[in-house]
Amino acid sequence: MGRPVLNEAGPDAGVPWHHGEPLREQRRLASGAATVDLSHRPVFTISGPDRLTWLHAITSQAFEGLTPGVWTTAFVLDPNGRIEHVLGGVDDGATFWASTEPGHAEALLAWLRRMVFASRVELADVAATHAMVIAGGPRIVARHELDAVLGAERAGTWASEALRIAAGEPRVFLDTDERTIPNEVAMPDGLALGSGVHLQKGCYRGQETVARVHTLGRPPRRLTLLHFDGSDERLPEVGADVLLDGKAVGRMGTSAIHHELGPIGLALLKRNTPLDAALVVDGLVAAQEALVDPEVGLHVRPNLRPAP
């Protein structure tokens, strides 16, 4: 393991971007042999006997009967079905250990605390004592165990982001915007509309929009994997316009250089953008690979790996 090169900006600033061999690190991470330090991500707990029924009632995910040790993801939607917050975590039988995106914990925890009412739940920020890692999948571990869990074979966020993008897994707040509904980006997972929405559970805020689009199809936009031609070493900025014949047809999300696919990225495109159209982002030419069926709003291929 070489000397780490740290992310200098963005939500992952301060943690290793790579350890000297980014493409090899991707291959090692894909095989399960490497780990990733995500200790910059906020970590919090939800404890109390009502924690799972409470989460089941206020989020898009099914938490009742959740098996301990199984990582799950949930959205908090606004009344129009747009994604407001995201959390992922694991229950240990007594406490749900959760994480969210950097810079978004304060707003999420404030919203969750307003929803407690008479439920027997307690929320606590535990980022000072616990940290997020990828080690055989996403995990939350005690900080004093961090070095032991990460071990000697480490990969940086370049590796984890490249594998995530190649798998077509959107990162909320980067690959989504304030208008995004789950049907535009989600991946199939049994009865779930992606890893964050369950279609056969009780009511929750925003459910009507999700159910209507799922039933009728034709979401406004579709998640798309872009393959850049590689003629330029740079990658496009998050939020850049995606252009077709000089007109904006979408929004650019995250991008990375993949060890097999080369420069790739995720974009939200208007549903009716021709699938065979060559697009331009920040002056870079890109071809499309469909991820979400533009007619039915479901991911067109299986989930390739657990989302970190």
> What is the per-residue pLDDT across 104-122, written as a single tens digit (0 to 9) for each?
999 999 999 999 999 999 9
**Mean pLDDT value across residues 297-301:** 56
How do residues 123-134 score in pLDDT, each as one tens digit?
A: 999 999 999 999
Contact predicate 226/253, CB 8 Å: no
Question: What pLDDT was estimated at residue 305?
Answer: 40
**Mean pLDDT value across residues 125-152:** 97
**Mean pLDDT value across residues 54-80:** 94
DSSP assignment of 264-297: EEEEEEETTS-TT--EEETTEEEEEEE-B-TTT-
Q: Does 92 have pLDDT greater than 70?
A: yes
